[in-house]
């Protein structure tokens, strides 16, 4: 059975099942988009298949169900359910699917920014970070001074909802830890390969970002492994798969898609299970990873949008939770409150 992480990273074509990056021909034409817009809006769910630009239409299950209805369409012969279609679309790296995910990220990041603004470690605050100054910044233990007393949690933040039509296979918390370890290990290897590709192509700043984020995923690996071996001392770290690389712009979108999946689907699902099981250690590491992944996605999308306008900014990695900041304008981690001087610059 595939783990959630396997599914996720096959979705972005980096786990040994390369998928040709979508070119212009894969997207819908203006005429196709208009044809969809002109579809009757009662009882059907028209879509454009991002793999081939073909208009797909699925009948609604209930007569009279409009396009805004959440009623599940029937998935009979010749029909494609909304859920099946979305799953199929998610299995590509088509730009259409990426754009949809980006839209989802916007709301998530807005909520996150709002949440962290009330914390003492907000990026733009004048906080001196002195509340964490006595901390070594190298441990995520409960006794650490970086314990996020004001950091976002599933109970206090508004961006921990699980996405509809989740593609995550959720097990018990130990199984979820193994799945997360596999995903983070793949991400670590993927970003190292993407960093080399970016460097080879002359994108020096993006190469630094990929290397910084690879190190962030290693932070998550270590956090999750420590919780996993507490549940089963025989736990082994997974082996990284071979990685296929593409052009750097496509690599950035693949990376952003993986981060968006993890922050909005995988970790939110795993956090809910950890809470239900009363496993506070797992809840904490999944929460820190979930929050960091949203920032990772933000960094990747910013790099994508400014790929031809690099600057000299450094990237700073929080060694405790994997948060990444671009530039100098921060004093402490918005997730775990570790002070800037403990960060690693890339």
The residue ranges that bind Fe ion (CB under 5 A) are 259, 293, 296, 318, 320-321, 323, 333, 335-336, 338
Q: At 187, phi and psi to the nearest 5? A: -60, -40
SS3 127: coil
As measured in angstroms, the least distance from the Cβ of 250 to Fe ion is 18
3-state secondary structure 128-144: CCHHHCCCCCCCCCCCC
Helix residue ranges per DSSP H, the chain: 4-11, 30-37, 82-90, 95-116, 173-200, 204-231, 248-261, 267-277, 280-305
As measured in angstroms, the least distance from the Cβ of 5 to Fe ion is 12
As measured in angstroms, the least distance from the Cβ of 200 to Fe ion is 22
Report the distance separating Cα 49 and Cα 101, nearest Å.
16
Report the distance separating Cα 193 and Cα 249, nearest Å.
14
Contact 138, 297 (CB under 8 A): no
Contact 241, 17 (CB under 8 A): no
91 or 318: whose CB is closer to Fe ion?
318
Residue 75 CB neighbours (<10 A): 15
82 or 325: whose CB is closer to Fe ion?
325
210 or 323: whose CB is closer to Fe ion?
323
Measured CA distances, 27 to 49, 282, 331 (Å): 8, 40, 43
As measured in angstroms, the least distance from the Cβ of 44 to Fe ion is 38
Beta strands in 4-63 (DSSP E): 44-48, 55-59
112 or 333: whose CB is closer to Fe ion?
333
As measured in angstroms, the least distance from the Cβ of 300 to Fe ion is 9
What does DSSP assign to residue 227? H
As measured in angstroms, the least distance from the Cβ of 34 to Fe ion is 38
Report the distance separating Cα 11 and Cα 333, nearest Å.
30
96 or 186: whose CB is closer to Fe ion?
186
260 or 320: whose CB is closer to Fe ion?
320
As measured in angstroms, the least distance from the Cβ of 151 to Fe ion is 9
65 or 321: whose CB is closer to Fe ion?
321
């Amino acid at each position: 059975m595939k783990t959630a992480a396997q599914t996720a990273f096959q979705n972005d074509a980096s786990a040994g099942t390369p998928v040709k990056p979508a070119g212009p021909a894969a997207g819908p034409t203006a005429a196709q988009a208009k044809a969809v817009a002109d579809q009757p809006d009662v009882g059907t769910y028209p879509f454009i298949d991002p793999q081939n630009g073909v208009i797909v239409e699925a009948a609604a299950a209930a007569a009279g169900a409009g396009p805004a209805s959440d009623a599940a369409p029937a998935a009979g012969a010749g029909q494609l359910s909304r859920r099946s279609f979305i799953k199929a679309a998610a299995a590509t790296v088509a730009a259409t699917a990426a754009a949809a995910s980006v839209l989802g990220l916007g709301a998530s990041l807005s909520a996150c920014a709002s949440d962290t603004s009330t914390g003492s470690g907000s990026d733009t605050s004048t906080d001196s970070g002195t509340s964490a100054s006595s901390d070594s910044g190298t441990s995520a233990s409960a006794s650490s001074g970086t314990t996020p007393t004001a950091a976002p949690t599933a109970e206090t933040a508004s961006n921990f909802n699980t996405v509809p039509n989740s593609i995550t296979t959720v097990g018990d918390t130990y199984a979820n830890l193994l799945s997360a370890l596999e995903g983070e290990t793949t991400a670590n290897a993927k970003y190292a390969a993407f960093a080399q590709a970016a460097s080879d192509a002359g994108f020096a700043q993006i190469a630094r970002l990929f290397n910084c984020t690879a190190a962030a995923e290693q932070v998550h690996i270590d956090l999750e492994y420590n919780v996993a071996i507490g549940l089963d001392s025989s736990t082994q770290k997974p082996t990284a798969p071979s990685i296929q690389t593409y052009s750097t712009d496509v690599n950035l979108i693949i990376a952003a898609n993986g981060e968006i999946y993890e922050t909005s689907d995988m970790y939110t699902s795993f956090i809910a299970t950890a809470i239900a099981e009363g496993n506070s250690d797992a809840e904490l590491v999944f929460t820190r990873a979930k929050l960091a992944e949203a920032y990772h996605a933000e960094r990747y999308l910013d790099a994508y949008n400014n790929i031809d306008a690099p600057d000299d900014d450094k990237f700073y990695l929080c060694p405790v939770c994997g948060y990444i900041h671009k530039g100098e304008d921060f004093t402490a981690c918005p997730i775990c409150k570790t002070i800037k001087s403990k960060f690693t610059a890339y």
